[in-house]
Structure 1
């Protein structure tokens, strides 16, 4: 028996689910398939910035208050200097914007729930077999489709199958994540800069935090960086992780093309940005809406042209911050300067979240 759909999405992570929701809301018959079974976890900092929450809201997805814990801004620290910036106020109602710390498993369940409610067909534990000489098969059945979307991550099989795997790898680092049962000591997502990398502390509830580290060294692990930061060593001393440590690779990559014929790439499959920016999910959600608009207009060229803009600023910001990672003297000088002029850090955060520019904001 043959399966058929308007859009076949390969990959059921947040990017694939966001695209499925956006397309289904436009009336497309969407079939999403993934070889894993939900919920699908991934090592990440688990902080949704205000722009990510905005993009989710445009898809109709609004996290519930008990899904996570709010945070009011970002704080950088290196043991000598500390600087904080809060998110801007919402011009529509005057309230302060916040981010949301939410477990990756919780986010995945939330997206699945919304996808199910709008009528997305989802097949889990269902690998998609791609061949150059035969139609794709899902659960051993041929699948007829008008469009196919590769949302299957860094090692995308759809990208290779479509001959779009002409990537430029700019940076590759290693990330690790665990959870601790402790009352958050800050309303910010804290980024602690250490010699071997960065540690991100994100509040997830009134009694739980996420600790994620990113490093360029293959030998460094989560506990190594925690031990190298006096504040974290003191706060977490004697505490046991309440989840097992999980690792992942984070990259900054760029592709020459993200579409070919009726094939499009999305999320990390279409290019990526280092986790240091915290913008990976916001980028994927933004791309999902752009792709739905393009397919609705029967024109993937518009997606290809706009896709470039979704990565340009985050990759530029990642390059600047990774330069600080590689050059301790520059990092120390930059953090001292920012702590002396916190309004500059505030402006940088606005730019990072597409809330303004250094040229026209004062």
Structure 2
């Protein structure tokens, strides 16, 4: 049996970040994934600057090389109001086939042992964690995505309806080179379509909505995309689930930690998950190597933000609130910036933003005399 200080299951952004962080602390690291790299992964491919900042702190640079910055965001509200402004910090659109490959190679270059292996059984005996009777670690990190085997082994069920979204994405030709576009819809709200340009004449296009119990077909999701982004005509589309952060399992059980999608770290306000993945993976890898409190580190770094994003998710269940928020963002750049920081990074609401949205909501629904 091969023994390591840290075994990481899943070599996506959360797992690669965990391996990098643990190696920086001098730990021996085994990184397991069921796929070879490069490999495709259904996703919106949006890389926020906040995620790049986390990776830079881990010594990883150049992850967005070759993909030009996207400077602007256009957001269309369910009622038709729209705002288009410069992002507080530029974003990038990098296919996961490229982005994940760059991260996992950085982890290997840092000394992580990468092996292709499909994990089926995890056993924590109190003194260490054994994986499939072949590998053993002092601490194991489950970063194996929305269908996490490690999460199931800990007894955590998948997120229930209302806390789980489904989306499709494909690639399509576009003349758009400078704007991320998000088009929300009142029909089956909360739901939206997107177009994120790669800068080479193509864009990542997709559509997603929160599940309410009944399964949704790929043809239905594709029809909704065609309605909201007319003429996008993506080729092959792939679907994926997004476990929302409004229903998270415990991040620590014994000697096992969870990070990224396995911990349901998907922003319920926007569906963003890359920033959460690299940040939680970094915190998990550091805690595993140092034998410090991962739960406390997560709470310190993301606790306030997660409370605010959950509040935003509850507030925006009413599409009229989104209409008011977009109208407020069109009138006030500071409101726009706060909304972006809440949706793509670790931002929070402030009283000014809440006041501006409430004011627009009052204009839309004046009190009866």
Band the TM-score falls in, shorter-chain normalisation? 0.7 to 0.9
1:176 has 2:168 as partner: yes
1:282 has 2:281 as partner: no
1:203 has 2:197 as partner: yes
Secondary structure of residue in 1 paired with 2:275: helix
Secondary structure of residue in 1 paired with 2:167: strand
The counterpart of 1:193, out of the listed 184, 191, 209, is 184
Residue of structure 2 in register with 1:241 after alignment: 234
- Given that 2:143 and 2:281 are in contact with CA atoms closer than 8 Å, whether structure 1 keeps it comes out as no
Instruction: Give me the CA root mean square deviation.
Output: 3.0
* CA distance in 1: counterparts of 2:221 and 2:152, whole angstroms: 33
The counterpart of 1:271, out of the listed 252, 255, 264, is 264
* CA distance in 1: counterparts of 2:268 and 2:43, whole angstroms: 8
Secondary structure of residue in 2 paired with 1:28: coil
Secondary structure of residue in 1 paired with 2:181: strand
* CA distance in 2: counterparts of 1:284 and 1:348, whole angstroms: 20
Residue of structure 2 in register with 1:91 after alignment: none
1:344 has 2:335 as partner: yes
Structure 1 residues 81-102: Cα deviation after superposition (integer angstroms, max 9, x where no partner): 21134333xxxxxxxx311110
Counterparts in 2 of 1:135 and 1:148: CA distance versus 1, 3 Å: closer
- Following superposition, the deviation at residue 356 of structure 1 comes to 7.3
- Given that 2:269 and 2:312 are in contact with CA atoms closer than 8 Å, whether structure 1 keeps it comes out as no
- Following superposition, the deviation at residue 251 of structure 1 comes to 2.4
* Structure 1 portions without partners, runs of 5+: 89-96
Counterparts in 2 of 1:292 and 1:65: CA distance versus 1, 3 Å: closer
Counterparts in 2 of 1:206 and 1:316: CA distance versus 1, 3 Å: same
What does 1:326-337 align with in structure 2 at a 5 Å threshold? Answer: 326-337=317-328
- Given that 1:18 and 1:288 are in contact with CA atoms closer than 8 Å, whether structure 2 keeps it comes out as yes
* Structure 2 portions without partners, runs of 5+: 357-369
Counterparts in 2 of 1:181 and 1:335: CA distance versus 1, 3 Å: same
The counterpart of 2:146, out of the listed 141, 154, 173, is 154
Residue of structure 1 in register with 2:84 after alignment: 84
Counterparts in 2 of 1:74 and 1:314: CA distance versus 1, 3 Å: farther
Secondary structure of residue in 1 paired with 2:134: strand
* CA distance in 2: counterparts of 1:350 and 1:145, whole angstroms: 37
* CA distance in 2: counterparts of 1:357 and 1:154, whole angstroms: 28
Residue of structure 2 in register with 1:93 after alignment: none
- Given that 2:9 and 2:33 are in contact with CA atoms closer than 8 Å, whether structure 1 keeps it comes out as yes
Structure 1 residues 96-116: Cα deviation after superposition (integer angstroms, max 9, x where no partner): x31111001111111122112
Secondary structure of residue in 2 paired with 1:332: helix
Counterparts in 2 of 1:86 and 1:358: CA distance versus 1, 3 Å: farther
* CA distance in 2: counterparts of 1:318 and 1:355, whole angstroms: 12
Counterparts in 2 of 1:28 and 1:5: CA distance versus 1, 3 Å: same
Secondary structure of residue in 1 paired with 2:198: strand
Q: TM-score, normalised by structure 1?
A: 0.82
Secondary structure of residue in 2 paired with 1:98: strand
Structure 1 residues 52-72: Cα deviation after superposition (integer angstroms, max 9, x where no partner): 111111122223564423111
Structure 1 residues 282-335: Cα deviation after superposition (integer angstroms, max 9, x where no partner): 111111222233233322xx21122235265246436535754x5344433443
- Following superposition, the deviation at residue 38 of structure 1 comes to 2.7
Q: TM-score, normalised by structure 2?
A: 0.80
- Following superposition, the deviation at residue 256 of structure 1 comes to 5.2
Residue of structure 1 in register with 2:3 after alignment: 4
- Following superposition, the deviation at residue 264 of structure 1 comes to 1.1
Secondary structure of residue in 2 paired with 1:211: strand
- Given that 1:8 and 1:30 are in contact with CA atoms closer than 8 Å, whether structure 2 keeps it comes out as yes
Residue of structure 2 in register with 1:16 after alignment: 15
Residue of structure 2 in register with 1:116 after alignment: 108
- Given that 1:167 and 1:255 are in contact with CA atoms closer than 8 Å, whether structure 2 keeps it comes out as no
- Given that 2:168 and 2:206 are in contact with CA atoms closer than 8 Å, whether structure 1 keeps it comes out as yes
* CA distance in 2: counterparts of 1:132 and 1:215, whole angstroms: 36
